């Protein structure tokens, strides 16, 4: 590999990501590169990959929906070296890269990526940069049985001579199955010279980046193709159908890699991971589950069908029954060892369940700690609460945590039993081992060990006669 004369290191890499195109075929007001694959904007996949290369600078070329795209990526400096260049109007891929030129130093290798090709892998890009070696033009290519629409790689013998766009190609050229992926690596100084010489005399009246290949050849610079076999890495998104197809293919790969690590999926075709899912051994996941953000499932965890689980840690042996929604957002959710949650349960940010806790159907828990062995099995709300060990929280009972302005905390000490249909008006504390009679509205702290009842006394009126209907006149 060519090295910098002074430092002996390979030249630094600067990435240009083209993301100014309209994406007409998405038929959407959302810029194409902000449509989501596996829960993340297309553009963010590319940016993450670029970051993992430790590029010196990354310039995103925006145009259509530029404000929205730049805001979605956090604006300039959101990561070290992230910059934006505007392309207005959009006159082609060559014109797009021209906009980034003022931000690029002469001494590096420029790696050109597309914001709508989300699954390109860092290893592939490293190999492409190595093929460029600071002194060659390196093109990422692939063979497609049906190359319709793509730029074709033209060779004489083995030597790459040019890329011809489908619309400009002759029938003989269209028969070529090796296509250009839209991704290249080039020495910055040479690339700048070629871009300055581009014209738009072609079938689409655009400034084609691909015309730099002919220029490199005529300058006597070597052009190399790095050819890969994996079509998903270079799949571009142009329509909702392509987006859905790539989503399924990507999800199937995620499912396969989970199964390779021993996760038992009831059906790999019915799993959606939109973030990072880590699993211990002997994890079982039933059909139609969605995992978002960071989710950790420890050894022996079982997830029932139709659960949506986001930003959460589920400890060893816990069972999440069908139709449960867990969303930790920023505060996170923890489900303790051997706990049982669901069916139809809802755990919200800050729910911290200890070992052996049971949360049953139609129970909502938010910003609440339940110590080991606590149970709320039916139709309950525990919000802003600290619940002690072995507490039993009855059906239909709630913590009234909100006075219309502020949130207050409810403390239920260990071994307390809260009957059915109680309202605990916070701030309030239920004493250890105490019992709250069903139907009570508790507004004052209750003593440990006592039975507290706060409801109208039951009365019976002997011989009571119900009113009778008056006869109609
Ligand atoms: C391009 C290549 C083609 C290759 C194909 C692979 C050119 C001329 N052709 O064609 O050889 O086979 O990709 O998918 O480069 N963009 C801008 N500004 C513009 C135009 C495009 O930023 O003015 C961006 C788009 O948003 C997109 C990328 O560049 O992210 C590629 O543009 P697109 O129009 O899809 O190029 P293709 O015609 O597919
Ligand atoms: Mg395209």
Give the position, in ligand 1's atom list, of the atom nearest the Cα of 116.
Answer: 30
Q: 366 in ligand 1 pocket by Cβ < 6 Å?
A: no
pLDDT at residue 472, as a whole number = 87
Closest C-alpha residue for ligand 1 atom 11: 151
Question: What's the angle, vertex CA 448, arms to CA 443 and CA 452, rounded to 5?
Answer: 45
Give the position, in ligand 1's atom list, of the atom nearest the Cα of 61.
Answer: 22
pLDDT at residue 231, as a whole number = 96
What global pTM score does this model have? 0.92
**Each residue's pLDDT tens digit in the chain (473 positions)?**
455 556 667 899 999 999 999 889 999 999 999 999 999 999 999 999 999 999 999 999 999 999 999 999 998 888 889 999 999 999 999 999 999 999 999 999 999 999 999 999 999 999 999 999 999 999 999 999 999 999 999 999 999 999 999 999 999 999 999 999 999 999 999 999 999 999 999 999 999 999 999 999 999 999 999 999 999 999 999 999 999 999 999 999 999 999 999 999 999 999 999 999 999 999 999 999 999 999 999 999 999 999 999 999 999 999 999 999 999 999 999 999 999 999 999 999 999 999 999 999 999 999 999 999 999 999 999 999 999 999 999 999 999 999 999 999 999 999 999 999 999 999 999 999 999 999 999 999 999 999 999 999 999 999 999 999 999 88
Give the position, in ligand 1's atom list, of the atom nearest the Cα of 150.
Answer: 12
pLDDT at residue 10, as a whole number = 84
Closest C-alpha residue for ligand 1 atom 19: 92
Give the position, in ligand 1's atom list, of the atom nearest the Cα of 151.
Answer: 11
**In 408-462, at which residue ranges do the beta strands (DSSP E only) sit?**
410-412, 417-418, 423-425, 428-430, 435-436, 441-442, 451-452
CB 212 within 8 A of CB 94: yes
How far apart CA 354 and CA 360 sit, in angstroms, is 15
Q: 151 in ligand 1 pocket by Cβ < 6 Å?
A: yes
Q: 19 in ligand 1 pocket by Cβ < 6 Å?
A: yes
Mutation pick for ligand 1 pocket among 114, 195, 227, 242 (CB with most ligand atoms within 8 Å):
114
How far apart CA 188 and CA 103 sit, in angstroms, is 11
Q: 96 in ligand 1 pocket by Cβ < 6 Å?
A: yes
Cα of 151 vs centre of ligand 1, distance in Å, is 10
Specify the DSSP class assigned to residue 448.
Answer: T
Closest C-alpha residue for ligand 1 atom 29: 18
How far apart CA 308 and CA 32 sit, in angstroms, is 26
Q: Give pLDDT tens digits for 108-154.
A: 999 999 999 999 999 999 999 999 999 999 999 999 999 999 999 99
pLDDT at residue 430, as a whole number = 98
In sequence order, the 6+-apart residues with CB closer than 8 A to the CB of 370 are 351, 352, 353, 354, 357, 359, 376, 382, 387, 391
Closest C-alpha residue for ligand 1 atom 37: 150
pLDDT at residue 7, as a whole number = 67
CB 284 within 8 A of CB 298: no
**104 in helix, strand or coil?**
coil
Cα of 461 vs centre of ligand 2, distance in Å, is 82
pLDDT at residue 291, as a whole number = 98
Active site residues: 378
Q: 85 in ligand 1 pocket by Cβ < 6 Å?
A: no
Give the position, in ligand 1's atom list, of the atom nearest the Cα of 21.
Answer: 26
pLDDT at residue 473, as a whole number = 84
How far apart CA 289 and CA 281 sit, in angstroms, is 18
| Alpha helices per DSSP H over 307-410 | none
Q: 12 in ligand 1 pocket by Cβ < 6 Å?
A: no
Domains in the chain, CATH or no CATH each: 13-234 (3.90.550.10), 247-452 (2.160.10.10)
Cα of 314 vs centre of ligand 1, distance in Å, is 44
Mutation pick for ligand 1 pocket among 15, 16, 21 (CB with most ligand atoms within 8 Å):
21
């Amino acid at each position: 590999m060519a090295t910098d004369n002074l430092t002996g290191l390979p030249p630094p890499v600067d990435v240009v990501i083209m993301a100014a195109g309209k994406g007409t075929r998405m038929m959407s007001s959302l810029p194409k590169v902000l449509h989501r694959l596996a829960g993340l904007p297309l553009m963010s996949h590319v940016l993450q990959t670029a970051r993992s290369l430790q590029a010196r600078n990354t310039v995103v070329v925006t145009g259509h929906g530029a404000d929205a795209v730049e805001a979605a990526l956090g604006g300039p400096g959101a990561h070290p070296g992230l910059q934006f260049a505007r392309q207005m109007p959009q006159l082609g891929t060559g014109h797009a890269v021209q906009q980034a030129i003022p931000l690029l130093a002469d001494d590096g290798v420029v790696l050109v990526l597309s914001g709508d090709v989300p699954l390109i892998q860092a290893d592939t890009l490293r190999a492409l940069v190595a093929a460029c070696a600071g002194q060659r033009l390196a093109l990422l290519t692939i063979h497609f049985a049906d190359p319709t629409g793509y730029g074709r790689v033209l060779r004489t013998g083995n030597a790459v001579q040019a890329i011809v766009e489908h619309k400009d190609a002759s029938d003989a050229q269209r028969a070529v199955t090796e296509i250009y992926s839209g991704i290249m690596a080039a020495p910055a100084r040479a690339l700048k010279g070629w871009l300055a010489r581009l014209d738009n005399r072609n079938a689409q009246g655009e400034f084609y980046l691909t015309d730099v290949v002919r220029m490199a050849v005529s300058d006597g610079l070597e052009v190399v193709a790095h050819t890969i076999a994996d079509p998903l890495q270079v799949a571009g998104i142009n329509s909702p159908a392509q987006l859905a197809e790539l989503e399924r293919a990507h999800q199937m790969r995620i499912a396969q890699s989970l199964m390779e690590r021993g996760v038992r999926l009831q059906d790999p075709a019915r799993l959606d991971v939109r973030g990072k899912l880590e699993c211990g051994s002997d994890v079982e996941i039933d059909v139609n589950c969605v995992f978002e953000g960071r989710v950790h499932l420890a050894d022996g965890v079982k997830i029932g069908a139709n659960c949506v689980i986001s930003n959460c840690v589920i400890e060893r042996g816990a069972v999440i029954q069908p139709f449960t929604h867990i969303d930790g957002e920023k505060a996170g959710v923890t489900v303790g060892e051997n706990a049982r949650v669901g069916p139809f349960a809802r755990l919200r940010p800050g729910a911290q369940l200890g070992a052996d806790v049971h949360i049953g159907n139609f129970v909502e828990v938010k910003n609440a700690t339940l110590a080991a062995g606590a149970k709320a099995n039916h139709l309950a709300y525990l919000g802003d609460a600290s619940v002690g060990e072995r507490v039993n929280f009855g059906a239909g009972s709630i913590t009234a945590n909100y006075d219309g302005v502020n949130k207050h905390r409810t403390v239920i000490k260990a071994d307390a039993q809260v009957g059915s249909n109680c309202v605990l008006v916070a701030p309030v504390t239920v004493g250890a081992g105490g019992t709250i009679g069903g139907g009570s509205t508790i507004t004052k702290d209750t003593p440990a060990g006592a039975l507290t009842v706060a409801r109208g006394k039951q009365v019976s009126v002997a011989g009571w006669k119900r009113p009778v209907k008056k006869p109609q006149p």
